[in-house]
Each structure stands twice: as C-alpha cells, then as structure tokens.
Amino acid sequence: MLIKEVEKALNEQITIEAESSQIYLAMASWAEVKGLEGVAEFMYAQSDEERQHMLKLVKYINERGGHAKVSQLNAPSSSFGSFKEMFETLFKHEVHVSESINELVHICLQVKDYATHNFLQWYVAEQIEEEAVARNILDKINLIGDDKGGLYLFDNDIKQLTVQSSVQIQP
C-alpha cells in the first residue's frame, strides 16, 4: 500500500513530468517555425519521452493502491529569443526536475517506503542522463557561437541525438 505522503509527492511529480512534456512541445513548435528542423525533431521526441515518464508514475501509483491524479498544467513559454536561450531554459528545467526527484527519494527514505525508493532510482539515473545531454548541447552551442554554418550543422546533427534510457517504459 502506498503511503499517503508519498502518493501526494508522486502526484506532484506527475504534474512536473506533464509540464516537462509541454515545455518540450512548445520548444519543438518554436524551433519548427524558426526552420530548425533537427532541433524540432529532437524536442518532439523529448516531449514524447517526458509523457512516458509521466505515464510510468501514473501506473506505479495506481498499481500500489493509490490514485494517480491528472492536474491542471501551467502553460509553457512559446518564445525563446534564440535557440541558445531555449537550450539554457531546457537545462535549468532539467535541474529543477532532478531536484524534485531527489526530494521524492528523500521523502521515501524518511517514511521508509523502500519499494518506491527503488522505483525512483530509474528516475535518478534518467535525470543524470538528461542533464548531461543538455549540458553537452549547450557546450556545442557555445562552440558554434554566431556561425550560421555551424548552426546548420548543429541542427542537422541533433537529429542523430536520441536519448535512450536503460529501462524500457511500458505505457
């Protein structure tokens, strides 16, 4: 049986994951309108991945005897100034998600919910990967600077960058 305090925190994480999906979707749309086809493709894939993270939490809560809740979401920004600013926003958001996951792990340890603690280890590993990818992308963007040719190559290359997690998520 799921401890109520843990259930509440997991439901809050569902909202964070859903908002993450929406943020990536808004970024994909912005990039597509700007002609950044590769960036848009990457962001659409990230949006789908975040939705899968949300669904994994929904199923876990329900399987443990809790009730997963679907809540209202905050609307993401639809404009980002530059693609560099967009990726800086992405990185900051991933750090926020990592902090939230870490807080969830902390709650589980406090209330001795070791099953949920174990379940959350996948998310801990996933966030390490997500932050590393975002940091790597920002490093590449900083190397490009204002070079339009570099931007073209970056946009083409990012299509190859797909983040595959080590755990298959079943919707």
Sequence ranges of the binding site for Fe cation: 17, 50, 53, 94, 127
As to burial, measured by CB atoms within 10 angstroms (0-12 exposed, 13-18 middle, 19+ buried), residue 88 is middle
Residues making up the binding site:
17, 50, 53, 94, 127
Is residue 139 within a helix (H) or strand (E), and if so which, with residue range? helix 114-144
One-letter amino acid at 47 equals: S
Report the alpha-carbon distance of residue 60 to residue 40 in Å, rounded.
30
Contacts of residue 90, defined as CB under 8 A and 6 or more positions apart, other chains included, come to: 23, 24, 27, 134, 137
Q: Report how far residue 18's alpha carbon sits from residue 121's, in angstroms, rounded to the nearest whole number.
A: 19
